[in-house]
Amino acid sequence: MSTARLGRWTAALGIALAVAGCVPAEPAPPPELGTEFTLAVGDTAVLEAGRVTVLLSDVTDDGRCPEGAMCVWEGDAVVHIETTVAGRQSAHELHANPQFPTEAHTDGYRIALRSIQPPGSAGEIPLAEYRVNLLVTRE
């Protein structure tokens, strides 16, 4: 094989491998009722074949005790979600601290906040780093 021809094959193989590496992974299957799932801020979960959607719109007021620190109070963070059930929209605040509402009830469904990652921090956590675990069940 000539050097020029080998060079063309090498270039073609490199392009093919680069394109193959850019193919997105299979999308995650939609969450099911009764199964905990994770959302980042701005993500939406679609459940029950589109009957229920949950959008994580924001995480605010994060004053949780930093991991490894000794705190008098565990603190709190507020998770803002928007739900749509059978076309009816509503907004809810869920709290990390169980002294406040950790779940919302809407149109026969319960949406429960299970956890927020990362754990509390002494510094500000960038919004893009938050991951919120939620659980949706029928009432």
C-alpha distance from residue 86 to each of 50, 89, 97 (Å): 8, 9, 30
pLDDT for res 17: 44
Residue 12 placed within a domain: no
- Whether residue 14 lies inside any domain: the answer is no
> Taking the mean position of all CA atoms in its chain, how far away is CA 49?
19
**CATH code for the domain of 117:** 2.60.98
pTM: 0.78
Residue 7 lies in a domain: no
Q: If pLDDT is split at 50, 70 and 90, which confidence band does 123 have? A: confident
Any domain includes 98: yes
Lowest mean pLDDT: which of 17-21, 65-69, 98-102, 103-107? 17-21
With a CB cutoff of 8 Å and minimum separation 6, the contacts of 120 are 62, 63, 64, 65, 66, 67, 69, 75, 77
Task: Please indicate, yes or no, if residue 10 is contained in any of the structural domains.
Answer: no
Angle 117-65-124 from CA coordinates, rounded to 5°: 65
Instruction: Find where tokens 């919120």 sit.
Output: 132
Does 132 map to a domain? Answer: yes
Confidence of residue 105 (pLDDT cuts 50, 70, 90): very high
- Structural domain boundaries, residue 33: 29-138
In a domain, 3, yes or no: no
The residues facing 110 across adjacent strands are: 105, 137
* pLDDT, position 29: 76
Tally of domains in the chain? 1
Q: Indicate whether 73 belongs to any domain.
A: yes
